[in-house]
Amino acid sequence: LIGCSAGFLNSVKIKGSHTAMKSGMLAAEVLHSALINEEGNDSVAVSGEDFFSKTRPTIEIQPYEKALYSSWVGEELKQVRNTHASFHSFGGLLFGLLHTAFSCFISKGKEPWTLRNTKPDSEKTELAEKHTTIEYPKSDGVLSFDLLTNLQRSGMFFQS
């Protein structure tokens, strides 16, 4: 996925926007090279709309994967690749905490194994009816505020 922040989430930092944006930038660079065709075939600039005709063979953008893995995005995500799966492995919470600490602070993601998730997230998600609804207290106007007041105090301005 290109530019998908969920797919590029650094689960330790709980951040993904910067990696998603960089993945999109790398894809644009690789795609630009393919469209101007530095390999010597017709470029989109020369052939115009014929470049996108249905009879023209599909161009596979293979350099994207290499560009992604060799960038800082690949390095950052390789370092945390085992974090989520370690909590769902044989050792549970304790193993997950120990493995994540080892992986992030000692080996820096250079361990020679990759832990795999055994089930997709969709199989782990339960129906809402199986859980109790969380009742949050109403805003008190001192420590907590309603949504519109928070938005107004944030200084954000949206022109209609």
pLDDT tens sequence across 5-44: 677 888 888 888 888 889 999 999 988 887 776 555 555 5
> pTM value?
0.62
Q: Where are the alpha helices (DSSP H) in the chain?
A: 17-36, 44-47, 63-69, 72-79, 83-87, 92-101, 121-124, 147-153
Q: Look up residue 154 and give its DSSP letter.
A: T
Whole-angstrom distance, CA of residue 69 vs CA of residue 47: 32
Q: How far apart are CA 21 and CA 35, in angstroms?
A: 21
Instruction: Dump pLDDT digits (tens) for 90-124.
Output: 778 999 899 989 998 899 889 999 888 878 878 88
